[in-house]
Amino acid sequence: MISSTMLINADEIITRAFDNYENEIKLSVTDFCQVAHFTRPTFYARYGDMPHLGVELLIKKLESNFKLAENNYGKGVQDLLLYMFDDRKYLLRLYYLIKAYSQQRNGKFAARFPKLLEQAIYIKTLEYVRRRSRTGDYSVKAVNDAAHVIYTIVYEWLNEGLEQNPSSVISRCQIAVAVIDDQVNKKIR
């Protein structure tokens, strides 16, 4: 796992590198090192490899923008989707970078991106329900299923290039949001 400070630095470097290589989908370690003024050994010592860095950066970006309001899971989902739409150029370039590496022979870590994204959404959702449940009597399966629906919609939208209007994507998430609200608001019998 790459430290938060190193991810912030890498995020800034990748942003500059994307600006320098406007038409490139695949950003190489050499490209990154030129922008960062690193040697290749410094890059590998800090970040492992490019697929690992790309996955960690994209997951961190999405996690940090999936802020679950005190008592409003739906607002957190909405804010995440609006963030994704607003920052779509950068997010898509990271996503396409990951996809390019996942199709290579050594791209096993990059190929794990969908599962890591699903896990991140599930953990945040379960944490939200655990902290806000009135009774502690919630269904882990219902929470898991709702988080899976949110993940599926987010991943599908990302995979389609974030072209669809965020309001229609938000409305597709409403059933899952209602399930989470029901789990949080269960009453003592």
pLDDT in tens, the chain (189 residues): 777 777 778 888 888 877 776 655 667 888 888 888 889 998 898 888 888 888 889 999 999 999 887 779 999 999 999 999 999 998 998 898 888 887 776 677 778 899 999 999 999 999 999 999 888 889 999 999 999 999 999 999 999 999 999 999 999 999 999 999 999 988 655
Question: Are 2 and 48 a contacting pair, CB within 8 Å?
Answer: yes
**Nearest partner of 90 among 169, 29, 32, 22, judged by Cα:** 22
Torsions phi, psi of 164, nearest 5? Answer: -65, 145
Query: How far are the Cα atoms of 48, 67, 115, 142 from residue 72, in angstroms, in the given order?
Result: 37, 10, 25, 17
- pTM value? 0.87
CA distance linking residue 14 with residue 36, whole number of Å: 9
| Residue 114 CA to its chain's centroid (Å) | 9
Task: Give me the residue label for tokens 């030129």.
Answer: 34
